Structures are given as C-alpha cells and as structure tokens.
Amino acid sequence: MPQPSNQNNQPQSRHAVYRSEPHRSSTVATAPRIESAPTKPNNAPVPDLYKPSNSSYMPAPVPSAAAKNSSARERSKKRRSRRHGADWAWVVIALALMSIVGVVSLSLTLVIKASQDGIDVLPTAVSGLPTPVDAQTSFAGFDSNIASGQQLTLDDGRNIVLQPWNGGSRLTVLVMGLDRRPGEDGLAYRTDTMMLLSLDRDTGSLGILSIPRDLYVDIPGYSELQRINSAMVLGELQQPNYGPTLAMQTAQLNFGMYVHGYVVMDFQAVVSLIDLLGGIEIDVPYNIVDYQYPDMNFGYDPLILNAGTQHMDGQTALKFARTRHGDNDFERARRQQMVLYAIRDRVLDFNLLPQLIVQSPTLLSTLNENVYTNLSLDQIIQIAMTLKDMSASNIRTGVLDGNYSVPYTTPAGAQVIIPRRAMLGDLLSQVFGADYSE
C-alpha cells in the first residue's frame, strides 16, 4: 500500500489495525468547505491522461492492445465483473437513502446514524431491530399528509418542524459502501463503491455520479497515485476517524466539487432497510439460477428465483440486485432499478412516510453499527422534504466509464483506471449542471 509523504511504514493487510468508532458530528449546518483547493476538471490545463502532482513519479505508458488482452487482464476482468454487482447494490441502497425517486426520499431517515445532542447511543445488534409489521393494519388511520411547516413529535419526544433544506444552494454528499464482512467493525477498510450525490436547490435537481473503485488518482498527502477506494483506509492509518475526511478531500480534489457531507454504509444497511419495510414485491422477469453468488465470508450462497412476482426480504433483494446470472451489465442495472422502485412502491402504497419519520430516532440508533454520517437527523429530514416531490426528469445519473477513462497497468502490475481529465468537466456538467464547482 502507498505511503504518505511523511511516513515510512507500509501497511501490509487489507485493512488497518484501527477499529475505533468514527466521529459522528451532529451538524454540518454551515456546509463547511474542505480546505484543500479543488481542481476544476473542465478548466484545468492538464494532459488528457491524469499525471501525479509529483513529477518524480511517472506512470508507465498505457498498455498496448495486445497487453490489454493478456491472460492476466482477462482474469482480472472476470474478477472485476463480479465486483460490479456489488457496486450496483450500493447504487440501489444509496438511491433509496438519498431520496432518488419521489417520496422514497424519506426512507433515508431509516438508516442514517445521527448523533443525538449530548446523548450516547449504545450500539444495537441488527437482530434487535423492530419486528417487521403489516403496514396495511399497523398504520391504518395514520395521517399520511405531510407538508412543509408541519410539526411532528418523534418517538424520542422531540418536536420537529418539517422544512426543506435551507443550508445552501448546493449540497454534495459522498456516499461510500464499505468492503467489510460480518464481525468486522470500524472504518479502516477500503470502500467498495463511491458515489457523489449533489442536490441543487436553485434548479430543483439531483445529480448522481458513480466512481469506479479502481480509479487511479491523487490523494492529498501522498506523493504517488492511488486507487480512490484506498482513501478511507489511508485516512484511518494516519489517524482514527480521519478516513471519511480524507475520502471527501480526495473526491473534492479530483472532481472540483465542494463535498459537504458523507454517508458510509455496509451491506447490512440495505438488508435492514428492506426488512424494516416488511420486504418488497418484485416481478422477476425470468428464472435466475446463480450457484456462484458470493456470500459475505468469501464463499458461495446459491441464489435460485423463479420468474413471477416474488416477496423478497432484504437479503434476497440484495442478492437479486447483485447477481451476475451470466447476463450483461444492462440487465443487472435493470434489476437494480426494479429493487429501487419496489422500495419506493412499498413506502407509497402503505403511506409509511410519516410513521417512519416519527420512529426515525429509534430506527437510526438501531442501525448505528452499519451506517455512519456527519449529517444530523434534522438535516436528513430537511433534505428528504426538499426531494420528496422531485420528478424523475430532474434526476440525472452518470458513470465514469470507458468514455472518460483508460485502463492502465502500474509498474507493479496492478490494473487500474486512469481518468481522462480533459473530459471530466463535460461529464460533471451533464450530471450536476454547469455550476457544479460553485
């Protein structure tokens, strides 16, 4: 693993030795800007291939066509192709968390751990979550009409007034999926997925950019290029609880956007979200048989689903979204969208939103081991209120794919992706709007 410029010890393991809990500050009300100066990809006078800031380190030439088709590369492609299912699983939960489609926005409040003012919330095992309820009977008669200015009493006794986001014209959050297995804790792990989600209040739009984990970029404080997914663990090696900050600084430096907050989650978050809703209904378009679906302990957990309407718990829905099943990325993306819309439909069909807001303090505290953020509960609800009526036409998504990057093999033989810096500005403008860097 690369070294920071002022350190001499190289970590050898996949994750760091630290296992401390992350900092969970209660507010980012003033939307502080990270101090490292952002680069503006659309204006930066840099070569097409992104080079490190330290001129003493120069990447090897981009591999030739023959090298790209080597047996080692083909094996790596197969490994990465299975990982992409995990990437899209994070897309599904992040979209649900960050209120991508209509009023599913308020389901965000289910799975974000927010600090309570002056109150220490003890971790609660997932097995201690509330038992799923029959939404048709349990919420019968509950007033499902919610609007700005309305006051609600949460289940911890606090009164809140529902208001849209008022913290600034643009709010950008870095959403990260943690490559962490059952029994592992803390933040000292590589991120399985990173996505930038940016809410532009002035235009009433939301942009989402998926960032490849193998993107080879500058990380503040390090002299050589690194994979972007190593920012979290490198930050934790420098100082416990510094990982999210370094990850935000890295995104800000390389994409020229001020990043105001972060959300970090593991796979259990998406499972718990769906289970808390009592499961979801999905019309499976064809029979799915995947005997090589990876479990969370580096083994296999076969997935078999028959075509037709299926009621899925969280674990099954996650597997449905992640499975390769021998088809292409487009079919897999379609399944992930089905999961997202099924979550939305579950919330809408049974008028769950107001009740979920009321119960959010308890729900949040039970999930604090699986989701970390520096956003407060009040801010989360404000964001959700801003997005709850947003139409799908105002949501733009993008992926930093082969149109904006090139494959590259490092001198050490690692296969990574080099961003085409001269083209990133166009991508960011398409996803976030022309004023994305303001």
Can you spell out the DSSP letters for 159-209?
EEE-----S-SEEEEEEEEE---TT--SS-S-EEEEEEEEEETTTTEEEEE
Residue 335's pLDDT is 75
Residue 181's pLDDT is 65
Residue 419's pLDDT is 92
Average pLDDT score, the chain? 64
Q: Any idea how long the chain is? A: 438
Distance CA 351, CA 362 (A): 19
pTM of the predicted structure, to 2 decimals: 0.60
Residue 418's pLDDT is 92
Q: How many helices (H) and strands (E) does the chain have?
A: 13, 16
Which stretches of the chain drop beneath a pLDDT of 50? Answer: 5-144, 328-330
Closest CA to 37 of 172, 218, 178: 218
CA angle 275, 277, 283 (to 5 degrees): 85
Q: How many CB atoms lie within 10 A of CB 158?
A: 13
Q: What are the tokens at 361? A: 């303090």
Residue type at position 306: N
Residue 56's pLDDT is 36
Secondary-structure class of domain 83-278+348-429 per CATH: alpha beta
CA distances from 284 to 92, 177, 289, 307, 308 (A): 17, 26, 12, 5, 5
